[in-house]
Structure 1
């Protein structure tokens, strides 16, 4: 599974680099990374339920969540880090189906072209990972299929955070 997740990471990194959405060097933001496990545990029941009929949404929403957590980290982490279930906090604003719009409008405060461009980028990333997952030919309902799904979510979360950090002006460059 580590090889699969590494393939996902490399593919997303190259794609997002080509779109100038991330830097060559990935950001290090331990506060955001530490929230992953808690958010994943809360998200997975909803994500799995939606995956059958809406795989791109099920995957893509996690990228938006990564972006939102990075934004929260930059804005008022002392408040947001104490919210017991950050995923439920976001989901319950408008419901699961409209969580993407809530994050783009209210958290990231995007409008017009930026709103639509981000939707397309996230949609493409989710589609790429969905295709990679399907090419693994995991038998549905198995531990391998579940672990593959989680690997996709993990990379989407991390790259969502990386995209948002770059959008907020955090650039990862090698120090001399």
Structure 2
């Protein structure tokens, strides 16, 4: 497979949070965060419904509110990531614990057929066992997000805004990846 380095200007983003911010509860925070994705070099195109999803592991904290959006931007993937981290910080996000509770998380999920940093590294992170995922943190941006196909809390909202986007490595659309998840995972993502 050829890895295409050309950046498609439509970016897929997943948003989530389970702690209040200066805007209020997580639902208000995500709503306000969506508005910030319409500034400078960003143009918000589509917003999914908002969903409630269980905290993982169960009982570790309040449930999450999740959503997905598409954003048009001329920014590169690394520039986009920098802007998303700045927006998270505006809403009180502190990066002190990976996969911990947070006011706002905005994940860069993918863009067009872009694969970063390369196909081999992407495949390595996709196949990483769950216990290693917790311990390891990539030192570079991996796109598409290497756990995307496993996460109902990402795929259910993403299916609202980009059901036909095709994963450039797996060759599956968002709808197909979502259908492949266990029904119990899909049903745990509840529209608000």
* TM-score between the two structures when normalised by the length of structure 1: 0.27
Higher RCO (CA 8 Å, separation ≥ 6 residues): 1
* TM-score between the two structures when normalised by the length of structure 2: 0.25
